[in-house]
């Protein structure tokens, strides 16, 4: 048993991965070095040998520009894990972003990624097989799985020398405007953030506390542009919620995310039937298999790569939701431009985009999809379209 464990540690560099995660938590995230899994695959490919994929990953902590408060929590940092998959001299980039309330962490993601052995696949183009196997490695871990999915998509796009919006057949000109999120705060801060957000055509306001009407009225004292609202399960009573939805509709709030706790399925269906604005499921809809039972409960779904294991499943979710006549929103966590760029290639297909995650952070690691004049603006670069900025 002891011997097996030592072999396993040697093979998967769990020890190195843990040390990296630990140092990142302690605040020296940038200094964390790349961890190669398995180490043996990092060696130069022998002449004549078939190239194989190598996965590397490192823990990193992104810093938020402002304290970010939603109905249930506040924070100033988000733990992420950055991945790279190298094959035949080409490198694809990926990311797992893990807000603490969702249950994943530096430790859980590095432990999961230590189990991933991409060297056994000869052909990186076999996305369906490879990513099915990754998903089957362990339950949960959607962000860690997305970190492999995104890097593999980036690698394949670079090998094809095409951006993913082209591979999927989407029109890059049809990207939506992204909303810009205003967290729960004091009246003065909300007013100031609304003024600063002049570039954005849609604002997203976080609700779910007893300051809801103040938040919306403060924004309305500055601008009449459309607002989307995210309650993050913060309301509990469906009749009170319906009154609020009518009030919000009068204030030109055009859509509301997760007004009630996800467990109140019957109340959500009751509310969706009567609501003057579309009701979007976020916390209540994680993955592809959740969509059929979300029909009738919500008007639409909020797809996030970090909830659904990445680009492959997100694409399937859009197709399925559309086939059921549901609306689609594309969201994000606080992420670097890597995760945001990956999601942005799907954005020509959605009703609403909330892809402001990289705009809220101060230590981005990549240059990728931009927000220009409030519009998601894809780069004509292969893969997910990112360039590494540092480290």
Does position 257 interact with Mg ion (CB under 5 A)? The reply is yes
User: Min. distance of Cβ 30 from Mg ion in angstroms?
Assistant: 29
User: Min. distance of Cβ 161 from Mg ion in angstroms?
Assistant: 35
Q: Dihedrals φ, ψ of 297, to 5°?
A: -85, -40
* Among 44-52, 182-190, 275-283, 312-320, the segment contacting Mg ion (CB under 5 A): 275-283
* Among 8-16, 132-140, 168-176, 281-289, the segment contacting Mg ion (CB under 5 A): 281-289
Note whether 302 and 280 are within 8 A (CB): yes
User: Min. distance of Cβ 64 from Mg ion in angstroms?
Assistant: 17
Question: Among all chains, which residue has been given the structure tokens 């860690």?
Answer: 144
User: Min. distance of Cβ 303 from Mg ion in angstroms?
Assistant: 11
Note whether 279 and 311 are within 8 A (CB): no
* Among 81-89, 151-159, 240-248, 278-286, the segment contacting Mg ion (CB under 5 A): 278-286
* Among 166-174, 276-284, 336-344, 383-391, the segment contacting Mg ion (CB under 5 A): 276-284
Nearer to Mg ion, 230 or 356 (CB): 230
User: Min. distance of Cβ 382 from Mg ion in angstroms?
Assistant: 31
Q: Dihedrals φ, ψ of 174, to 5°?
A: -90, 20
**Total residues at interface with Mg ion (CB under 5 A):** 3
Neighbours of 186 (CB within 10 A): 11
Nearer to Mg ion, 206 or 315 (CB): 206
Note whether 286 and 309 are within 8 A (CB): no
Buried b (16+ CB within 10 A) or exposed e, 226-256: bbbbbbbbbbeebeebbebbeebeeeebbbb
Nearer to Mg ion, 149 or 282 (CB): 282
Among 212, 230, 313, 364, binds Mg ion (CB under 5 A): 230
CA gyration radius, the chain:
21
Q: Return the DSSP state at 288.
A: G
User: Min. distance of Cβ 307 from Mg ion in angstroms?
Assistant: 10
Helix (H, G, I), strand (E, B) or coil at 52: coil
């Amino acid at each position: 048993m002891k011997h097996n464990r030592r072999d396993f540690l040697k093979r998967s560099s769990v020890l190195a991965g843990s040390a990296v995660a630990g140092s990142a938590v302690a605040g020296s995230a940038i200094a964390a070095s790349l961890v190669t899994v398995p180490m043996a695959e990092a060696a130069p490919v022998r002449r004549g040998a078939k190239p194989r994929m190598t996965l590397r990953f490192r823990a990193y902590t992104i810093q938020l520009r402002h304290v970010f408060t939603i109905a249930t929590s506040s924070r100033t940092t988000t733990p992420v894990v950055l991945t790279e998959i190298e094959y035949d001299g080409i490198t694809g980039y990926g990311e797992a972003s893990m807000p603490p309330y969702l249950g994943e962490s530096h430790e859980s993601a590095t432990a999961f990624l230590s189990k991933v052995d991409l060297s056994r696949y000869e052909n990186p183009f076999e996305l369906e097989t490879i990513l099915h196997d990754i998903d089957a490695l362990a339950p949960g871990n959607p962000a860690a799985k997305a970190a492999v999915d995104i890097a593999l998509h980036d690698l394949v796009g670079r090998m094809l020398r095409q951006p993913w919006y082209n591979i999927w057949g989407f029109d890059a000109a049809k990207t939506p405007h992204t909303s810009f999120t205003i967290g729960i705060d004091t009246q003065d801060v909300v007013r100031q953030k609304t003024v600063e957000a002049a570039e954005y055509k849609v604002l997203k306001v976080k609700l779910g506390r007893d300051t809801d009407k103040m938040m919306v009225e403060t924004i309305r004292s500055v601008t009449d542009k459309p607002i989307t609202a995210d309650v993050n399960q913060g309301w509990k009573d469906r009749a009170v919620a319906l009154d609020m939805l009518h009030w919000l509709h009068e204030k030109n709030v055009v859509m509301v995310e997760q007004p009630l706790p996800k467990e109140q399925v019957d109340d959500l269906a009751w509310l969706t039937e009567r609501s003057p604005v579309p009701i979007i499921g976020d916390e209540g809809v994680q993955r592809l298999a959740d969509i059929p039972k979300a029909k009738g409960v919500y008007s639409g779904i909020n797809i996030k790569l970090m909830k659904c294991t990445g680009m492959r499943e997100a694409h399937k979710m859009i197709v399925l939701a559309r086939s059921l006549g549901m609306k689609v929103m594309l969201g994000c966590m606080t992420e670097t431009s890597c995760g945001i760029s990956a999601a942005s290639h799907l954005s020509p297909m959605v009703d609403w985009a909330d892809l402001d995650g990289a705009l809220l952070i101060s230590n981005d690691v990549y240059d990728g999809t931009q927000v220009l004049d409030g519009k998601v603006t894809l780069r004509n670069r292969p893969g997910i379209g990112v360039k590494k900025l540092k480290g």
